[in-house]
Amino acid sequence: MTVTTTPSTLLNPQFLHKGSKGFGPSPKKKKKTFKNLKKNKEEDNREEEGKEEERDEGVIPEVVTNRMIGRMGLSVGIPLSIGLLFFPFFYYLKVGLKIDVPTWVPFIVSFFFFGTALLGVSYGIVSASWDPLREGSLLGWTEAQKNWPVFWQSFRGDSRKD
């Protein structure tokens, strides 16, 4: 087995752009002066600040994210584990106690609990307080009532801010 490696200069981005041919004329080189360097740094700083503000605008704070994950863990985990525990229960009824359980009963029970677990994902997100400074209530019902319209607007694509 032969292993071929590429020279490190081929992976260097400066090497890739050094003698590249494009579809248009090559950009004119500017003389590097102290004034130009200072202007470029100021422009770059302004652009970076604008980009950071744009990035921060859509970012969910870590405290809120942890709150959502905790609520999702409970609102998904409890119904999911109950739904999974019903399978051995129905097996025990059928094999151990010789009770003929209709096939549709385990199906409906598992459908109900797994569906509840699926809804728990959304409820875990919506029931958490989205304010980083406020913890929120135990069940999160007041937060859910406040956050549901915002949640649905995000799906519809409404970008209005009230």
Backbone conformation region of residue 11, classed left if phi is above 0, alpha if psi is from -120 to 50, else beta? alpha
DSSP alpha helices (H): ranges in the chain?
A: 8-11, 13-18, 34-57, 62-91, 104-126, 141-156
Q: Domain ranges in the chain?
A: 63-151
Share of the chain above pLDDT 70, in %: 62
Q: How far is CA 149 from CA 56, 58, 117, 143, 144, in A?
A: 22, 18, 21, 11, 9
- Residue 83: band (very low, low, confident or very high) from pLDDT cuts 50, 70, 90: very high
Q: Which residue has the higher pLDDT, 113 or 24?
A: 113
The arithmetic mean of pLDDT across residues 10-20, rounded, is: 54
pLDDT tens digit sequence for 85-121: 999 999 999 999 999 999 999 999 999 999 999 999 9
- Residue 136: band (very low, low, confident or very high) from pLDDT cuts 50, 70, 90: confident
The arithmetic mean of pLDDT across residues 131-146, rounded, is: 89
When the pLDDT of each residue in the chain is averaged and rounded to a whole number, the result is 79
| pLDDT at 72 exceeding the cut of 80 | yes
